[in-house]
Amino acid sequence: MTEEISLRAKIIYVVLTALFVLFLWLGDEGKQPMIYHGTELQHSVGLIDSEDALVLQESVARNGVVAHTPAYVMNKGSYTVNLSYLSEQQGNVLELWEQGDKIAAWPINPAENEISADFTLAKDTKQLQVCVNYVGKGALTIRKLSVSPQRLFYTDTYLMIVVVLLLHLAGWWYIKGGKDRIPRGMLLDGCVILGVALLATTPMMQTYLYNADDLCYHLARLEGVKDGILDGQIPVNILPEGLQGNGYMNAMYPYLFLYIGAFLRICRVSLAFSYKVLIFLSNLASACCIYAAVKSVVKSRRSILLAVVLYTLMPYRFTNILSRGDLGETLALIFWPMLLAGLYHLTMGDKKKWYYLVIGFSGILQSHILSAAYAAAICVLTALVYCVRLAKDKRYLEVLKAAGLTVLLNAWYIVPFLYYYFTENLDKEVLRWSGYFEQSINLSNMTQSISLYNKQYFSLGLALLGGVGIAVIYFLCERRKKFGDSDGFLLYLLILGGALVFMSTGYFPSRALMASPFFSNIATMLQFPWRFLGPASACFTFVGAAALERSTLIKNYRNGLFAMLVGLNLLVIVTVPADNNHVPYKNAEAVASKGHETKLITSVGLFYPHEWRLFDAMDEKLTRSVLISDIGSVSIHDYKKEGTKAAVSYTAISDKAYIELPLQNYRGYRATDELGNPVEITQGDGGRMRFLARGDGVEHRIYVRYGPVPGFVAANVVSALTIFACLYLCVGRFFNINLPYIRGRQKDGDSSSGVEREETLEA
């Protein structure tokens, strides 16, 4: 029995919690304006005076937009813009632009020195800018410009307050009765996992985002999935506001886990913070998956926790997150341990745990297509290596179960992907820009830690290689003649990991093999050989953790080796460089801070790669206006677009005239006229939708919308029913089996973790 907490302690606890929440609320930057001195605006002409104002004279021989703010990803709502200035001439204008379109303008009155204007955004913006348009005559001095919300820019602080309160509720539940349901050892392991995940997230705890290579694309995807949900698409196959509102294909890149960030965006959390939350959850999920996977194979608690640290803090994960900005591969790395554990159980372990393979492969498939291709190749290779054992032990039924359930669970994504990949006129050849061999890495770098200053810096890390060394000692010195089945699989993983590393280095004869059309076709699609470091790291983590447990030669040194390897891996965090400006605020005006501003501009603009555009849909051919073949034959009366739905009214006097809407003509769109009759859609210039006009001189209206596509709907139903059946079975299994098992352990007075306590960590 535990002592009851005193009333005094409860009051102190509540007061401290309230104070903490109050301080969070007082520090909320979401309600603060963004302020720019004239020189802080983006400009190409002008002089700077002693008060940091931007001074423009007629001598600059320039008119038009001369200064502007960065491009903002801003939530819908009402805002106020304020400009402090001195102007000698009429004609200067303060303007508001969104993705190249001017949506508002306010004249700058020379008789005054300040202008304040309110504006309302009907929907979230992607590239909102406040601009100063100079007439080209007289002097114009831009002293200060500010943008402020009438309510909030974003709700980041309120999300943090909710998380804090939920953590306190969880603690209260644990004290009141949860500690009788959760074994103490399991709670300790959970704290270690959470601590490692937080440690892995510390480089992202800057007030800004690192401008990684592919970050802009994944931010655009996250924002686009949010727009697709609000458009009513489930799943989101088209990003409705992508490509300047023309729409962009989303079904070609896995996006399941982006729904988390999209939900936060719907709750008005900033795009930057939504992305950081997604990264934290990926770190936490990586730690949980490696824990569950290794625990199903290895019984030593020491080895399991070592695997958690080695895998979650491995350098290649940080390279993906902070240098490459590859969110897809980062998410895929979560599930590689589950895939390897599933292969182990299917071939020689507990064949009832075949679902590990389903979880692993499904997670990789829903994260990164190329990683899924690697995973499929490894699964096929493993099946070939162990085909005799699979047949002898009659494990083929579990293999069929795993394959079938994986297909059914992921049909909702697989069907649209295959449909568009093989039938749509996509510019897929731009994917083959890499020759593979020029992206090979140096073997000498494998012991190094991460460095963000070199974009092509890839490593396994000294700690992970130390685990490999323990495995090599185990196999060479203790298992030279006799191998058990489990040892044989670990040796297979060791060889597989070594082969993957070899294929990523310059020692692999990739340049010579490029002469083969077969290899060239595969290599140019894979692009970067360093992608093999992900699955190789998962293999080495498994092998190192198991060898530390099984080796008798190093039995007396296990605690020391554990501490040394963990310490070496923790140094990876230390080597991640921070910005030289350790203070996020440039001056006393905190609203001009690097942190506050980059939550809205996210450090980069939005980018949509060419490979999933329609062929010939180049940036210079994109438009936000309706185009017609002949101004003398067709008149446009009205055009409206909302998400993937659009409507245009026109009058034509020629049947040969046509209309092109600013929408990409992806398959799945359909059109009807005002009477509900189908209208044929053809592809126009730049991938736009083209319609032949009815030249009867009468006003007609065409309605366009995306979906529903019957095949996609059928696939969605199949996956939904499969998920429901799995949840039903899991819930029944949990309540009928797991709970009595836990109660039985409690009756015996066992408060340790579920791991068999062959070994415990020594203090």
Considering only CA atoms, which of 634, 618, 623 is closest in space to residue 662?
623
Q: pTM here?
A: 0.90
pLDDT above 90 for 438: no
H/E stretch holding 128 reads strand 128-134
State residue 78 phi and psi, 5-degree precision: -110, 140
C-alpha span between 421 and 535 (Å, rounded)? 26
The three-state secondary structure class of 520 is helix
Confidence band (pLDDT; 50, 70, 90) for 454? low
pLDDT tens digit sequence for 217-238:
999 999 999 999 999 998 999 9
The three-state secondary structure class of 20 is helix
Confidence band (pLDDT; 50, 70, 90) for 748? very low
Q: Would you say 103 and 126 are in contact if contact means Cβ atoms under 8 Å apart? A: no
Tokens of 450: 């991460």
C-alpha span between 421 and 425 (Å, rounded)? 8
The pLDDT assigned to 363 comes to 97
pLDDT tens digit sequence for 353-406:
999 999 999 999 999 999 999 999 999 999 999 999 998 888 989 999 999 999
Winning range, highest mean pLDDT, from 167-181, 251-265, 515-529, 556-570: 251-265
| Higher pLDDT, residue 171 or 145 | 145
Q: Would you say 229 and 239 are in contact if contact means Cβ atoms under 8 Å apart? A: no
The Cβ of residue 281 has, within 10 Å, a number of other Cβ atoms equal to 17
Considering only CA atoms, which of 633, 673, 679 is closest in space to residue 656?
633
Rounded average pLDDT over 125-134: 92
CA quadruple 544, 546, 549, 553: dihedral, nearest 10: -60
Confidence band (pLDDT; 50, 70, 90) for 593? low
Domains of the chain: 34-149 (2.60.120.260), 156-575 (no CATH), 619-707 (2.60.40)
C-alpha span between 623 and 246 (Å, rounded)? 8
Considering only CA atoms, which of 642, 646, 650, 681 is closest in space to residue 665?
681
Considering only CA atoms, which of 708, 736, 720, 749 is closest in space to residue 232?
708
The tokens 């409705």 sit on which residue? Answer: 240
The pLDDT assigned to 554 comes to 86
pLDDT above 50 for 739: no
The pLDDT assigned to 382 comes to 95
The pLDDT assigned to 7 comes to 81
The tokens 């802080």 sit on which residue? Answer: 40
Cβ-based neighbours of 658, under 8 Å, separated by 6 or more: 628, 629, 634, 684, 690, 691, 692, 693
| Higher pLDDT, residue 547 or 573 | 547
The Cβ of residue 59 has, within 10 Å, a number of other Cβ atoms equal to 9
The tokens 């409690």 sit on which residue? Answer: 746
Rounded average pLDDT over 409-423: 95
The pLDDT assigned to 740 comes to 42
pLDDT above 90 for 418: yes
pLDDT above 70 for 747: no
Q: Would you say 722 and 263 are in contact if contact means Cβ atoms under 8 Å apart? A: no
C-alpha span between 342 and 360 (Å, rounded)? 7
Give, in degrees to the nearest 5, the angle at Cα 564 between 558 and 568.
145
pLDDT above 90 for 622: no
Tokens of 593: 């801070």
C-alpha span between 192 and 202 (Å, rounded)? 15
The pLDDT assigned to 756 comes to 37
Instruction: Report percent pLDDT > 90 for the chain.
Output: 51
Tell me the residue length of the chain.
Answer: 763
State residue 664 phi and psi, 5-degree precision: -70, 135
The pLDDT assigned to 735 comes to 60
Measured between alpha carbons, how far apart are the two ends of the chain, in Å?
Answer: 26
| Higher pLDDT, residue 660 or 8 | 660
Confidence band (pLDDT; 50, 70, 90) for 9? confident
Rounded average pLDDT over 311-318: 91
Confidence band (pLDDT; 50, 70, 90) for 763? very low
Buried b (16+ CB within 10 A) or exposed e, 102-115: eebeeebebeeeeb
Considering only CA atoms, which of 279, 276, 269, 239 is closest in space to residue 73?
269
pLDDT tens digit sequence for 74-123:
999 999 999 999 999 999 999 999 988 899 999 999 999 999 999 999 99
Instruction: Report percent pLDDT > 70 for the chain.
Output: 89
pLDDT tens digit sequence for 252-292:
999 999 999 999 999 999 999 999 999 999 999 999 999 99
The tokens 């999300």 sit on which residue? Answer: 159
User: Which residue type is seen at 745?
Assistant: R
The pLDDT assigned to 602 comes to 64
H/E stretch holding 139 reads none
